[in-house]
Amino acid sequence: MTRKGWLVTGAVVAAAALLLAWAFAPRPVEVEVAVATIGRFEATIDEDGKTRLRDRYVVSAPLAGRLERIQLREGDAVAAGAVVATLTPALSPLLDERTLRAQRARVEVTQAVVKRVDARIERARVALQQARNDLQRTEQLARQGFVSPNRLESEQLAAVAAQKELDTALEERRVAVHEVEQARAALSAVGAGASADGVFTLRSPVAGRVLRVLQTSETVVALGTPLLELGDTAQLEIVAELLTTDALKLAPGSPVIVERWGGPGTLLGRVRLVEPAAFTKISALGVEEQRVRVLIDLTSPAQRWAALGDGYRVGVRIVTVAREGVLMVPVSAVFPVPGGDAGPGGMAAFVVRDGRARQVPVQLGGRNGSAAWVTQGLAAGDTVIVYPGTAVVDGVRVRERRV
């Protein structure tokens, strides 16, 4: 083979070797990266909630009678003291007249009892005066020795008995006078029921709106029958049922962000109360959970959420941690490590330096669904790998793809 042929063969072999080296050389791992930034960090507890009226009023029938048809409907506004329902006597006029006569007769009977007791009082007073006169004469004769001590003692006891009889008659008169007052009160009530109008009006205890009309048509109702449900829709609160482990992180006054309420933007609120008693609730997966109700007050202007009503579903984010000016990275950039420099149960992240991934231990101050607050291990501007796969190890070459 000529010298030229050897040169051509050598060049082909070198090119093939270079091609094989390039083909089998390790490729950089393509990764998604993000930059550590300074900003506001918030840790929240997200849960569904439900609006409800802070105070609910049920107007019930205070007495049995015939309810006239209620003209109010759900959503109607009512003023405090406005007439919301009307009751009329359910008895027939003949029965009412009979009852009226019976009550009048009772008044006359009780007045006669008072007169009889007055006569007994006068008789008791006369008997007492007679007993005192007899006692006085007997005492004079006893001092002169003409009356035995037994006679004197008998007169004294007779005077005491007469006094007790008078006291008893006076008490009976007080009882008789009270019975007259009761009979007159009953007569007044029956007379009012039997009058030409005989109307008893029910008034609204609060200014608000009608939530429900429980009895619409005219009907006879019994004592205590619920008729309407009223409430002030401007006094709404939100009830969220949280896991007891999450509720321990809250305190009255914790800020709340209300989302998914049906209107534009978000609303603001504050935790008013974490109820002291928890309850058991079965989750959608059939797991028993211990939950507790958290009451939230809306602090946004009432004009913004005027369309909300009782029992509406909303989403709440209760802020448990809020810090300004902290270092944050995407939460997908940090991961737990079993040991090593990060320590048992520590956290770490991959930082891109000189085109290679470097694993560094980090310490977290907190994390939420999107960001992690890093207190040690990283600096602002560091490029971190998010969602690192199994191919990403310490020292491997990487090619960046920013998110």
pLDDT in tens, 161-188: 888 888 888 888 888 887 888 777 777 6
- Distance in angstroms (rounded) separating the CA atoms of residues 397 and 403: 19
The mean-pLDDT minimum among 74-78, 91-95, 105-109, 209-213 falls in 91-95
> Which CATH number characterizes residue 373's domain?
2.40.420.20
Instruction: Please check whether residue 267 lies inside any domain of the structure.
Output: yes
The model carries a pTM of 0.58
CB 17 within 8 A of CB 199: no
How high is the pLDDT of residue 342? 44
Residue 352: how many CB atoms within 10 A of its CB?
A: 17
- Distance in angstroms (rounded) separating the CA atoms of residues 169 and 115: 12
Residue 197 has pLDDT above 60, yes or no: no
Instruction: Please check whether residue 157 lies inside any domain of the structure.
Output: yes
> Whole-number mean pLDDT of the chain?
84
From residue 208, alpha-carbon distances to 76, 80, 82, 231, 239 in Å are 9, 8, 11, 5, 21
Instruction: Please check whether residue 117 lies inside any domain of the structure.
Output: yes
pLDDT digits (tens, 9 = 90+) for 302-314: 889 988 888 899 9
Do β-strands 288-298 and 267-274 pair in parallel, antiparallel, or remain unpaired? antiparallel
Residue 344 has pLDDT above 50, yes or no: no
Domain count, the chain: 4
pLDDT digits (tens, 9 = 90+) for 352-366: 988 889 999 999 988
Residue 336 has pLDDT above 60, yes or no: yes
Do 275 and 134 share a structural domain?
no
CB 317 within 8 A of CB 256: yes
CB 203 within 8 A of CB 83: yes
- Looking at residues 111-123, what average pLDDT do you find? 86
Q: Dihedral sign for Cα 174, 176, 178, 181, please.
A: negative
- Distance in angstroms (rounded) separating the CA atoms of residues 55 and 227: 17
Residue 341: pLDDT band with limits 50, 70, 90 = very low
How high is the pLDDT of residue 161? 83
**177-195 burial, b for 16+ CB within 10 Å, e for fewer?**
eebbeebbeebeebeebbe
Do 157 and 39 share a structural domain?
no
Please count the CA atoms within 13 angstroms of the CA of 271 that sit on its side-chain side. Answer: 25
How high is the pLDDT of residue 18? 63
How high is the pLDDT of residue 194? 42
The single-letter DSSP state of residue 370 is S
> Which CATH number characterizes residue 207's domain?
2.40.50.100
Residue 353: how many CB atoms within 10 A of its CB?
A: 12
Instruction: Please check whether residue 377 lies inside any domain of the structure.
Output: yes
- Looking at residues 360-373, what average pLDDT do you find? 89
Instruction: Please check whether residue 18 lies inside any domain of the structure.
Output: no
Do 85 and 99 share a structural domain?
no
pLDDT digits (tens, 9 = 90+) for 47-102: 999 999 988 889 998 888 888 999 999 889 999 889 999 988 775 555 566 777 77
Instruction: Please check whether residue 262 lies inside any domain of the structure.
Output: yes
Residue 397: pLDDT band with limits 50, 70, 90 = confident
How high is the pLDDT of residue 402? 61
Instruction: Please check whether residue 22 lies inside any domain of the structure.
Output: no
Do 184 and 110 share a structural domain?
yes
Do 346 and 299 share a structural domain?
no
How high is the pLDDT of residue 100? 73
Domain that holds residue 222: 58-89+199-231
Do 80 and 39 share a structural domain?
no
- Looking at residues 278-294, what average pLDDT do you find? 91
Q: Dihedral sign for Cα 32, 33, 38, 43, please.
A: positive
Question: Amino acid identity of 68?
Answer: E
Pick the more confident residue, 258 or 340.
258
Residue 195: pLDDT band with limits 50, 70, 90 = very low
Cα angle, residue 21 at apex, residues 16 and 26 outer, rounded to 5°: 155
How high is the pLDDT of residue 189? 59
